[in-house]
Structure 1
Amino acid sequence: MTYALRIGRTEIAYELRRSATASERRITVTPGHVEVLALSTDDDDDIAGFLDRKRKWLFDTVREMDRAIGGRHVVPRFMTGSKIPYRGRKMPLTVRRSDGERIEIAYRNGFLVDLPAWAGTDADRLVASELKLWLKQRARREVKQIAAAYGRRFGLAPRSIRVGDFATGWGSCGVEGNILVNWHMIFAPRRVLEYVVAHEMAHLRVRSHGPEFWSFLSSIYPAWESAKQWLDSHETTLSAEFLTVSSGSMKDDE
């Protein structure tokens, strides 16, 4: 339900949502929208008292959002409405101001970042940093899952699996069986990420790129050619720095 809170001569509309699973009350602010999350056990006095304690924070945050919208031409790129490359598509970013204590990131058909009050004017850098960390962690998790599946199915046992930054290239397999995958592969469709992991896993069996290697790769990942074609055609955007990629021209996967 929608309500309004008057602070001085300013009236702030907000949506009230109750939750049976929430452990604490919370306010989130996005451009043009305020949501108040209340406990299912709260009565009107509980909610009114909570809002009264948050009056100054809410007023200042809404005013900050209004200023950002008014000066949109100078607003940093990591803001609501930006597009973040992920799995071959550009997904929407929503940045909200929250009265919580920690930066929180969720993914639900797009990225949702909750920024606490202490983020201040450094919000753009913080959002970029936290998103990069989230994407690296997701890349690490998916690479290890794919490698484990190939290891079980085809008896391939790398000495280690790591995800990191590459100056060039998408993956490597050292002579001792240590596999390293570029974290930027999280920007590619999963089938392309799987190709890179399968490619490096295949080197555990065949070191060279001769006919024997491609024959073995075909036996463990038959769709490698189309995945390689996608990677070859997107390599210039995919290998760019994160800040550049985030505002670049990477195409959606078709």
Structure 2
Amino acid sequence: MPTIQIGRSEIAYELRRSATAAERRITVTPGHVEVLALTTDGDDDITGFLDRKRQWLFNTVRDMERITAGRHAVPRFMTGSKIPYRGRKMPLTVRRTDAERASATYRNGFIVDLPHWIGNDPDQLVASELKHWLKQRARRDVNEIAAAIGKKHGLTPRSIRVADLANGWGSCGPEGNVLINWHLIFAPRKVLEYVVAHELAHLHVRSHGPEFWRCVELILPHWRSSRAWLDQHQSELSADFIAP
């Protein structure tokens, strides 16, 4: 593994090249430094980039070591924390980068990259990035499910969007405007499919009588197991763990 000498400190790093990256990047996690380089970069390009980042890299590694060593209470959002997503608890990795803003991605777990200017208490920013990512994914999933149902069964709402709902998992207004609680992103996808199907069925039948449930059955034959899961686990589907 290559290293860079900064004063008396020798910092080892993993060099990774990317054909799709638009710029070079350094990420720092506890015990690990990754340098992302362009495929066109030669040794001199990488050396020059690291030279320009020497002070930032030294300070960031030192701060990370100090935070890890002196941490008594485990924060909610640190590398190794578990974030609920689609019925599972997925691992979180929090990294320091030389970027100007925070970002969240998902690759077999959540990755939140923090910008260089964040201090030693990043919980609120990590929470904000996670919430934004989860709401965006909920919106995408709801639109995909609604489009598939609309194409197959001709049930197309006037509008459909995700929202924070104080009560219930969804609603369908008299004018055909559908709301879906974004907290359903914490449930298995089949449960989200059930709630979307339930609200779209109200476009055809407003009440909850036998005709309505026949419509739900036609849209989603496995709806009973999904509703049973929701009845059993609904108290767990909360974003209270995420800071406002």
Q: Is the pair's TM-score, using the shorter chain for normalization, greater than 0.5?
A: yes
Among the aligned pairs, what percent are the same residue? Answer: 72
Distance 1:151 1:65, change over 3 A: same
Whether 2:240 is the aligned partner of 1:241: answer: yes
- Please name the residue that 1:167 is paired with: 166
Whether 2:134 is the aligned partner of 1:128: answer: no
Pairwise CA distance, 1:38: 1.7
> Which has the larger helix fraction?
1
- Please name the residue that 1:206 is paired with: 205
- Please name the residue that 2:228 is paired with: 229
CA–CA separation in structure 1 for the residues paired with 2:74 and 2:5: 28
Pairwise CA distance, 1:141: 1.1
Q: Deviations over 1:191-243 (max 9, x none)?
A: 00000000000111111111221121111111000001111111111135243
Whether 2:20 is the aligned partner of 1:44: answer: no
CA–CA separation in structure 2 for the residues paired with 1:98 and 1:174: 45
Report 1:88-127 matches (<5 A): 88-127=87-126
CA–CA separation in structure 1 for the residues paired with 2:163 and 2:108: 26
Whether 2:183 is the aligned partner of 1:184: answer: yes
Q: Deviations over 1:112-134 (max 9, x none)?
A: 11111022235211110011011
Q: Which amino acid aligns with 2:148?
A: A
Pairwise CA distance, 1:65: 1.2
Report 1:14-53 matches (<5 A): 14-53=13-52
Q: Which amino acid aligns with 1:178?
A: N
Q: Deviations over 1:89-120 (max 9, x none)?
A: 01111111111223222211101111110222
CA–CA separation in structure 2 for the residues paired with 1:109 and 1:149: 26
Q: Which amino acid aligns with 1:102?
A: R
CA–CA separation in structure 2 for the residues paired with 1:79 and 1:144: 31
Q: Which has the higher contact order (CA 8 A, sep 6+)?
A: 1
CA–CA separation in structure 2 for the residues paired with 1:183 and 1:208: 24
CA–CA separation in structure 2 for the residues paired with 1:72 and 1:215: 56
CA–CA separation in structure 2 for the residues paired with 1:10 and 1:61: 13
Distance 1:20 1:160, change over 3 A: closer
191-200 vs 10-19, which moves further:
10-19
- State the SS of the aligned residue for 2:203: coil
Structure-2-length-normalised TM-score: 0.94
- State the SS of the aligned residue for 2:120: helix
Contact 1:162 1:180 in 2 (8 A): yes
CA–CA separation in structure 2 for the residues paired with 1:196 and 1:71: 46
Q: Which amino acid aligns with 2:166?
A: A
Unpaired stretches in structure 1, ≥5 consecutive residues: 245-254
Q: Deviations over 1:5-28 (max 9, x none)?
A: 121221111111222332321111
185-194 vs 209-218, which moves further:
209-218
Pairwise CA distance, 1:40: 2.3
CA–CA separation in structure 2 for the residues paired with 1:21 and 1:150: 35
RMSD across aligned positions (CA): 1.5
- State the SS of the aligned residue for 1:161: strand
Q: Which amino acid aligns with 1:9?
A: R
Aligned residues: 243
